[in-house]
């Protein structure tokens, strides 16, 4: 009952903001402890992420992957499922993208390859999520355990396929051949340049627009469809969902399929948009970071976009910071990122009771 008296913006905005600020305060103390100025470090970090066109492009490029994986985690969360298999699903989604590009880049134009690659990413990512979904829905196997295992299986499978079947002949690196340019996702700076708009050279490509479209799709699906209502009911109270006649097993499987498909879109950005070849370890932890993005964004597409941009800024700004102040090594930047994840994820309820109590007492008074 007391929760209803707390303004919605407290949980949506105030508490996440305070958690992030606390993470930055602790990060500042760490930087101070190694003998550097936290204010100066913050300035370099902000400048690296938002201070010039190329930096903004890199920030949004990193954010693109995090939007995909954040949405993937969010859809599963809405159904009460903790899908931590985004890393493996993104990996296999990239395999789907790579196979489409390798098969068609010599014979088909971009407007044929692009939609097929998008379908390949979604289909392969969803297929990789299907087995854990089925085991959860039909056999009661916990989704956390099975998705963890499938992350490792995906990693091993990709090593086997690339090293033994897809690696370009005569190349030592475990990469496929480079795609023909008609299988490259266009860079946004190339699209905007003829219009007289200069956004700087960066890896930012059309996958960012696809990510925003996915946000609209998830928003409409979860909050404006019958299936979305069933999903939210399942996540809130599985017993009530069963009594309401909802096929909980079917909803569970479909939620994981959509979640896996969204994670698979990381391959569009990384394989088709940036690397232009199939390679190992392109997921770079985005699947796990997506969990923090979803938590910080309160499982809402708008919140996920903002949280993804924040983490993208930490990635890009952190690189600038490590370059400008050599004593702040990349490992310390990772610590800063980890603190943000810690305070926005594991410790997100640190202030919750006190802040809600304050607003409840204020409302009663």
Domains and CATH numbers, the chain: 1-36+328-365 (no CATH), 59-326 (1.10.3470)
Handedness of CA 235, 238, 241, 245 (dihedral sign): positive
For the chain, give the percent of residues with pLDDT over 70.
Answer: 98
The residue count for the chain: 365
pLDDT at 333: 87
Confidence of residue 354 (pLDDT cuts 50, 70, 90): confident
For the chain, give the percent of residues with pLDDT over 90.
Answer: 80
Confidence of residue 7 (pLDDT cuts 50, 70, 90): confident
pLDDT score of 252 more than 60: yes
User: Average pLDDT of 292-297?
Assistant: 90
Alpha-carbon span 191 to 22, nearest angstrom: 40
Query: Do 210 and 265 form a contact (C-beta atoms < 8 A)?
Result: yes
Segment among 119-128, 178-187, 338-347 with least mean pLDDT: 338-347
pLDDT score of 107 more than 90: yes
pLDDT at 219: 98
| Residue reference for tokens 């990381």 | 266
Confidence of residue 79 (pLDDT cuts 50, 70, 90): very high
User: Average pLDDT of 29-52?
Assistant: 95
Cα 302 from chain centroid (whole Å): 13
pLDDT score of 1 more than 50: no
pLDDT at 183: 98
Identify the CA nearest to 277 among candidates 175, 345, 146: 175
pLDDT score of 274 more than 80: yes
pLDDT at 2: 43
Inter-axis angle of helices 286-296 and 15-33, nearest 10: 130
3-state SS, residue 205: strand
pLDDT at 159: 97
Alpha-carbon span 127 to 256, nearest angstrom: 10
3-state SS, residue 266: helix
Per-residue pLDDT of 141-177, as tens digits, reads: 999 999 999 999 999 999 999 999 999 988 889 999 9
3-class SS string, 102-161: HHHCCCCCHHHHHHHHHHHHHHHHHHHHHHHHHHHHHHCCCHHHHHHHHHHHHHHHHHHH
């Amino acid at each position: 009952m007391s929760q209803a008296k707390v303004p919605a913006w407290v949980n949506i905005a105030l508490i996440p903001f305070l958690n992030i600020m606390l993470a930055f305060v602790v990060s500042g103390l760490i930087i101070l402890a190694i003998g550097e100025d936290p204010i100066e470090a913050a300035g370099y970090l902000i400048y690296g992420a938002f201070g010039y066109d190329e930096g903004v492009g890199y920030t949004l490029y990193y954010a693109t992957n995090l939007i995909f994986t954040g949405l993937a985690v969010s859809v599963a969360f809405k159904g009460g499922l903790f899908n931590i298999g985004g890393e493996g699903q993104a990996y296999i989604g990239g395999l789907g993208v790579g196979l489409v590009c390798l098969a068609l880049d010599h014979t088909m134009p971009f407007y044929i390859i692009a939609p097929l690659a998008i379908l390949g990413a979604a289909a392969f990512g969803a297929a990789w999520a299907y087995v854990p979904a089925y085991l959860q829905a039909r056999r009661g196997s916990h989704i956390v355990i099975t998705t963890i295992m499938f992350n490792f299986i995906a990693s091993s499978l990709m090593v086997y396929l690339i090293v033994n079947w897809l690696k370009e002949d005569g190349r030592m690196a475990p990469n496929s051949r480079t795609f023909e340019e008609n299988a490259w996702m266009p860079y946004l700076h190339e699209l905007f340049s003829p219009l007289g708009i200069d956004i700087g050279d960066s890896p930012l490509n059309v996958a960012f627009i696809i990510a925003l479209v996915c946000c609209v799709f998830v928003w409409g699906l979860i909050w404006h469809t019958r299936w979305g209502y069933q999903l939210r009911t399942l996540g809130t109270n599985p017993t009530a969902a069963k009594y309401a006649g909802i096929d909980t097993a079917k909803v569970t499987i479909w939620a994981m399929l959509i979640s896996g498909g969204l994670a698979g879109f990381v391959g569009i950005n990384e394989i088709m948009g940036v690397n232009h070849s199939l390679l190992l370890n392109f997921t770079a932890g985005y699947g796990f970071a997506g969990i923090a993005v979803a938590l910080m964004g309160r499982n809402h597409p708008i919140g996920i976009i903002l949280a993804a941009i924040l983490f993208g800024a930490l990635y890009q700004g952190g690189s600038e910071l490590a370059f400008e102040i050599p004593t702040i090594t990349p490992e310390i930047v990772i610590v800063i990122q980890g603190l943000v994840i810690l305070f926005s994820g594991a410790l997100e309820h640190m202030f919750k009771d006190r802040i809600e109590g304050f607003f409840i007492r204020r409302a009663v008074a």
